[in-house]
Each structure stands twice: as C-alpha cells, then as structure tokens.
Structure 1
Amino acid sequence: MINGELKVKSPIRWAMVGGGRGSQIGYIHRSAAVRDNSFQLVAGAFDIDPARGRDFGVSLRVDPQRCYPDYQTMFEAEARRPDGIQAVSIATPNGTHYAISKAALEAGLHVICEKPLCFTVAEAEELRALAEEKDRLVCVTYGYAGHQMIRQAKAMIRNGDLGEIRMVNMQFAHGFHSEAVEEANPSTRWRVDPRFAGPSYVLGDLATHPLYLSEVMLPELKISRLMCSRQSFVRSRAPLEDNAYVMMEYEGGVMGTLWASAVNAGSMHGQKVRVIGSKASIEWWDERPNQLLFEVQGKPSQTLERGMDYLYPEALEDDRIGGGHPEGLFESWSNLYYRFALAMEARDRGDRAMAGNLDIPQIGAGVEGVRWVENCLRSADNGAVWIDYE
C-alpha cells in the first residue's frame, strides 16, 4: 500500500443514501471510498429533502439526473441503466438501516451500512439470509478496525506474546454529551430519540466499536453470559441510556468489561481496548492510534509504533507512509473501503473464498453487534442481572 499501487481492477460504481450536507459521517465515507480509486461516486439520494439533496449531489459533480429524491427511485432507475450502480453506502439514521439494506439487496447491490445494521436479531438474520440468497456482500463501517495496530494486536495475541489470555477491558467513554446538547443540535437529537435510534443509545452507538475491535483481536472468544447496567444521567434521554457498564464471561473463563458513556465529562474520546494475558498486556487507544502499549511483567513498558520493521507483517500491509508520520481515522476508513472493494470484486467473479477471507467487518459482525445489544438490554431491563448469552 505504501507504494500506492491500485488494487481494484476497475472502480466499483457506487452510490450513497444519506450523507448529505451537514452529515457527521458523509464526508469520511466519500473520502475513504475514492482515495484508492476503489469506488466511483456516480449516484445518490443524499437528503430527505429532494431539492437539497440534488443541490448537494451536483456540488459533488454527480450527474443531476442521478441525484435522486429517495433510495427507492434510485434503485429502480439505476437497475435500468447499463452503467448502473453496483454498491451503495447507507449513512442515514439507525431506524432506516434495515429497510434500505433490504431494498438494496433485493436490487442486487452490495451494501456498506453504518452500524447498527438494524434493531433486532430477527431483522439482522433476515438480512443475512437475503445477502446469501442474492450472493451480495453486506459490510459494516466499524471504521476503527482499519488501523494497522489493531492487526498488530491480533498477531501478538495469536502468536502467544501475551501468554494465556485472562481479561479484556474495553471502553468508549467521551464527554461531549454530558449536557443536553441535542436540544440545539439536530445531528445529535435523533441519536437520543428511540423512534430513530432504536432501543439503545451508547450501547449501540459507541460500545459496539470496541466490542468489534476485541472480536478482531480475539476471534476465538465467545461470550457465555453477561450482566449490564445502564443509566440516563441526562434525564430527558430516558429510556435511552447515556452511560452503561457491561461485565462478560467468555467460554473458557476469560473475563471482559465494557464501559460506554457519552457523559464522561472532560474526555475527548476515551475508546480503549486492553487485553491482559498471563505474561503481558497490550492496550490500544484511538486518540493515539499509531501506538500500541506493550507491557511485559517485570520489564519496562514499551510503546510499539506504526510502520516499524519490528511489527508483524500484517501490521505493515496497509501503511500509507513510513513510520513516524501519523496516520489517522481517514486512513483507517480508507483501508476498510479498499478491502470492501476487493471483496465485492471477488464476489462478482465468483471467488467467495477471497471475499470471505479479507479482514473486514461483514454481515456476521453486524448481526453479532445487534445480538450483543439485545442481550445487554435484556439484562439491564431485568434489574442488571447475569443472563446466559443468546
């Protein structure tokens, strides 16, 4: 990657639903998708207001005739074109993800969806079955998973550098919503409204990010039971939580904790994953994504740096510049998007093995994120009790 060779034979013809003017995440989707010439934005239904969406699409140099008033019209019109879209990214409020993803799959499109994929496991499993039936990919934008030091952590754990794994401590606890900022901020308001956000706030919106990172690092771990407690410290957000604690017991006796919060006053981001073994521990913090803390019992603490030759080979594959130069979230998303494109290209030529082996969050990650939130809510809403994981 550091030499910049193109990995996709031809850019995937691509559209967006949502992500228009004022979107918090629309720009990073577009920047990541086009950075390696892996996707070409040719159409979109960018806004719930058709005129505003068309104006925005034109500003992106999308053909005005392909700036559609809604996703249904877009899918129907593009299906009639010989150069129609092959994939779509969904960057809309949570409550729309299921319907748009289902419609896209039925239209024969690959899907890249914001998390959560949907609100219930039943819906998620329906999407998984439909994706299998249509032979299409569903990818989920767990955007932090493209950081190279996540792959370094996975390799270190796999190769026994930490010894026997005992504990996994996770958190995503920022302070930006420590007051009712949603009263003046529409892009935050929907996140604390059950009609649009679904049955949870920080569990679905924040906690699933470090949870997925832990699944990348420790793919063999399976949750056997958990206990969850959730709170609404800004009372107007009830019944949605703005703070939650989860304890997990994995098969084999490994223990895990996860703290998710939007009211950790003073914290910028506070997303960390710490894996503790019998010999050593590692810790990754998304505010310092180019570093991985490595602490061996009885030895001085080490800070491993992105781009250095002492890292495992898989941690160097996606480097875009030499060590010492900081890479950030846009690079992480770009690493995922070019891999999304490779997987789609492979699936389109019938190479299911390659599409399945690429290290990206696919439909299974989306399903498990929804399943985890459902289990957390079941525990919390029954008095923060231990429950068997279903």
Structure 2
Amino acid sequence: MGKLAWGLIGGGEGSQIGPAHRLGAGLDGLFTFSAGALDHRPDAGRAYGQRLGLAAHRAYGDWQEMLAGEQARDDRVDLVTVATPNATHFEITKAFLEHGFHVLCEKPMTMTVEEGEEIVRIARASGRICAVNYGYTGYSLVRHMRAMVARGDLGAVRLVKAEFAHGHHADAADADNPRVRWRYDPAQAGISAQFADCGIHALHMASFVIGQEAERLSADTVSCIGSRVLEDDAMVNLRFDRGAVGRLWTSSVAIGRQHGLTLQVFGEKGGLRWSQEQPNQLYWMPLGGRLQVIERGETGLSPEADRTTRVTIGHAEGMPLAFANIYKDLAEAIRAQKENREIDPAANLFPRAEDGLRSMAAVVAVAESGKSEGAWKDARPPMFRDPAGDSSG
C-alpha cells in the first residue's frame, strides 16, 4: 500500500503548532500532505498552502470548502488534522467524522462535556478513528514507562505526581498581548485557562502511564495576576479508579520553569521519573536497589519504546518526533482498518476521543472544585459513570 493522504485544517503561517504537525505527519514517509485549509483568511490560506506544495485546487479557503472538495474525490484524504482555535474543534471534527473521515483533533477536543460525549458516540457509530493530540505520550520513554507499569515492574502503583508548570505568562504587563490574553478570556478559552491548556496534558500522561483513569478530584485554582478571570495556577488532588493517588500542579506564572512537563510514578517495588526537557533519560529506582538511568535507544527496552525511536542513542529526539509517533500509530491503525486486520499492539497507543472526553470532564470538575473551596468532584464524564457506558474507553 502506498502513502496515505493527509490534510490539515489550521496551522497556518506563523502558527506554533502547524510546523510540528507537518513534520510529524511527514517524517516517516507514511503520509503525503495532500490538502489543507490553513488560515481563517481564505486567500492567505490558499497562498500559504500552495507555497507548501499543495495543488491549487486542494489549497482550500476554509474547512467547509475542504470538506466538500475532499468528499467528492476518489483520492480524498485518509486523515484530517484539526489545528484550529479551541472553540471550533467540535464543529469541524463532528462534520468530518460524519462524512467518513478519520480525524486527529488538537486538544481540547471540545469546549463542553456534552460535545465530547457526542463526538465519542459519532466516532463509535461511524467506525472512524477520532484521535486527540496529546502528543507528549509519543515520546519513546513515556511509552517505556507505561510498559514497565503494565508488566508489573513497579508492583501496584501507589502515587503519581505530574507537573506542567512554566513562567511564560508571568508578566502582568503582558496582559494585552493577544497571544496571551485569549487564554484567560472565558469567551475564547471556556471555563478554564491553565488547567485546560497544560494541566490536561499532565493528567492524560499520568493516566496513560499508570493505566488508570481519574475518578474524583479536588482543586485549588487561583489567578495570581488579578486582572485575569480564569486561573493561571492550579493544584489538583486526584483519586484514580484502581486505587492510585495523584498530585498535579500546573502553572503559567512559575518564573524559571520553561516547559515543565514532568511525571513521577511510585509503586510498591520502585519509582520512575521523566521530564520532557530531558526526554532521553528515564530514572528508575527499584526498591532496595540503586538509581538507574534508562537511555532512549538502548538495547533491551520494550517493543513500545523500540517502535518509537529513530535516532541512535545519545542524540536528542524532540517534540516533533513525539508527534510523529502519534502519526505513525494512526497510519498503522488506518492501514489495519483498510486491510481488515488487527492493529500492531505496540502502535495501539494513540489518544482517542474517549481520552479527549475524560479531559473535558476533568476540566469541568477542576473549575467547579476551585469555585467550591476544593470540594471533591466526580471527574468522570456522565456516560462513563455507568461501567456499561465505557465498553470501549
């Protein structure tokens, strides 16, 4: 089978996320960039798409034009990535799923839990893949952490500590910067700022690694810069569905922190520590043993780690390659569906619509708890509170 066709919505010129998606989709030669609607300004989007190599008739002015154009083609795109502003994710993802396209949506998948539940139902009913770009779970050693937990190296997980704290919004004088202001504006960001932007990455990674979902949470949220309506710092306590305890801190005013995504997992028989800023090293401390450094690319790692490493040991692999691993998973899933076969288990790790829905439910629970002096809230979406409703989540 030849390359799969890929289309991008959003991610136009000057976008922070667009280049990472284009690099990720193209890295392994599995997808061809075939179509795009890259800018909210139609002429600018068409021109930029053509500069990137799109044929003029597939460099579309908006997503509606792209949907109509691709739907009519025999060689239509196999996968559509939605990298537009948050408030548009639901409408675009829903439309493409309903017309038979596989979708990778940037997070947050939706702005409400109800919208998230609708996307999950549509994806399940249509049989189309709906993935959500929690791209940091594409890192090789994050996947090795998951494999170590799953095979019992740590024993039962007792505690997981996740952080995503940076200081890039710490300057109160930056309040009118449009690239910052929208994040704290309920009309554009919804009910949460920092937790919805960064905290859900940390929460999803914790759940991904330990194989447990957040069941209840208690949150302390604050706007350290008083002019902000939405929070710029949050501390969240979590209880997971198989007994683990979680502690999560997320902040945008932590001066001196750069990216700040870290994860620590503590079990009966050992502990693990990983940081996105030093992604090639995983620290493993077995109970009663000595601290060990596991290097990305070394021999003897799990199939999940081996499948997602490309560069020889000692060389850095960064965020675009982590994104590429999500695209590599999706290519395998789409091919498996086309060929009516089972997906490679080591590739069956991409975040799904169910994960996007759980994240949105957690956002709502954090916002409600923060307004209620840290009252404990149910972190599960309503459709998953009945086990029968979570049959494939």
**What's the TM-score once normalised by structure 1's chain length?**
0.92
Name the aligned partner's letter for residue 218 of structure 2.
M
Matches within 5 A, 1:229-378: 229-238=220-229, 240-351=230-341, 358-378=348-368
- Post-superposition CA distance 1:318-371 (Å, at most 9, x none): 221221222111111111111111112222344476699711111111111112
Match of 2:4 among 12, 27, 40: 12
State the secondary structure of the residue aligned to 1:342.
Answer: helix
User: Residue 370 and residue 275 in structure 1: after superposition, are their counterparts in 2 closer, same or farther (change >3 A)?
Assistant: same
- Post-superposition CA distance 1:163-218 (Å, at most 9, x none): 33211111100111112475464333332222222211111110111211112211
Name the aligned partner's letter for residue 321 of structure 2.
E
Cα distance, 1:41 vs structure 2: 1.3
User: Residue 388 and residue 338 in structure 1: after superposition, are their counterparts in 2 closer, same or farther (change >3 A)?
Assistant: closer
Q: Is the 8 A contact 2:117 2:357 kept in 1?
A: yes
Q: Is the 8 A contact 2:329 2:347 kept in 1?
A: no
Q: Distance in 1 between matches of 2:98 and 2:316?
A: 41
Matches within 5 A, 1:1-390: 9-180=1-172, 183=175, 185-219=177-211, 221-238=212-229, 240-351=230-341, 358-390=348-380
Q: Distance in 2 between matches of 1:112 and 1:214?
A: 21
Identity of aligned residues (%): 38
Q: Distance in 1 between matches of 2:57 and 2:379?
A: 49
Farther-moved stretch of structure 1 (177-186 vs 112-121) = 177-186
Q: Distance in 2 between matches of 1:129 and 1:253?
A: 28
Q: Is the 8 A contact 1:53 1:67 kept in 2?
A: yes
Q: Distance in 1 between matches of 2:177 and 2:335?
A: 39
Q: Distance in 2 between matches of 1:195 and 1:184?
A: 15
User: Residue 56 and residue 363 in structure 1: after superposition, are their counterparts in 2 closer, same or farther (change >3 A)?
Assistant: same
Farther-moved stretch of structure 1 (28-37 vs 180-189) = 180-189
Farther-moved stretch of structure 1 (257-266 vs 163-172) = 163-172
- Post-superposition CA distance 1:268-319 (Å, at most 9, x none): 1111110011232101100011111112344332211111114233322222
Farther-moved stretch of structure 1 (280-289 vs 180-189) = 180-189
Farther-moved stretch of structure 1 (133-142 vs 169-178) = 133-142
- Post-superposition CA distance 1:35-61 (Å, at most 9, x none): 112211121111111111112111101
User: Residue 357 and residue 297 in structure 1: after superposition, are their counterparts in 2 closer, same or farther (change >3 A)?
Assistant: closer
User: Residue 311 and residue 357 in structure 1: after superposition, are their counterparts in 2 closer, same or farther (change >3 A)?
Assistant: closer
Name the aligned partner's letter for residue 373 of structure 1.
V
- Post-superposition CA distance 1:136-168 (Å, at most 9, x none): 111111111111111211122223222332111
Cα distance, 1:81 vs structure 2: 2.0
Q: Is the 8 A contact 1:97 1:113 kept in 2?
A: yes
Q: Distance in 1 between matches of 2:309 and 2:77?
A: 30
Q: Distance in 1 between matches of 2:279 and 2:173?
A: 28
Name the aligned partner's letter for residue 315 of structure 1.
A
Q: Is the 8 A contact 1:181 1:188 kept in 2?
A: no
Computed over aligned residues only, the root mean square deviation of the Cα atoms, in angstroms, reads: 1.9
Name the aligned partner's letter for residue 222 of structure 2.
Q
Q: Is the 8 A contact 1:150 1:217 kept in 2?
A: yes
Q: Distance in 2 between matches of 1:349 and 1:311?
A: 29
Q: Is the 8 A contact 1:282 1:295 kept in 2?
A: yes
Q: Is the 8 A contact 1:93 1:190 kept in 2?
A: no
Q: Distance in 1 between matches of 2:96 and 2:346?
A: 20
Q: Is the 8 A contact 1:14 1:42 kept in 2?
A: yes
Q: What residue ranges of structure 1 are gaps of 5+ in the alignment?
A: 1-8
User: Residue 45 and residue 230 in structure 1: after superposition, are their counterparts in 2 closer, same or farther (change >3 A)?
Assistant: same
User: Residue 355 and residue 91 in structure 1: after superposition, are their counterparts in 2 closer, same or farther (change >3 A)?
Assistant: farther
State the secondary structure of the residue aligned to 1:264.
Answer: coil
- Give 1:5's aligned residue: none
User: Residue 187 and residue 92 in structure 1: after superposition, are their counterparts in 2 closer, same or farther (change >3 A)?
Assistant: farther
Name the aligned partner's letter for residue 247 of structure 2.
T
**What's the TM-score once normalised by structure 2's chain length?**
0.91
- Give 1:6's aligned residue: none
Deviating beyond 6 angstroms after TM superposition, the runs of 4 or more aligned structure 1 residues are none
User: Residue 65 and residue 314 in structure 1: after superposition, are their counterparts in 2 closer, same or farther (change >3 A)?
Assistant: closer
Farther-moved stretch of structure 1 (242-251 vs 180-189) = 180-189
Alignment length (residue pairs): 380
Q: Distance in 1 between matches of 2:84 and 2:96?
A: 14
Q: Distance in 2 between matches of 1:269 and 1:19?
A: 21
Q: Distance in 2 between matches of 1:354 and 1:134?
A: 22
Q: Distance in 2 between matches of 1:161 and 1:287?
A: 25
Name the aligned partner's letter for residue 292 of structure 1.
L
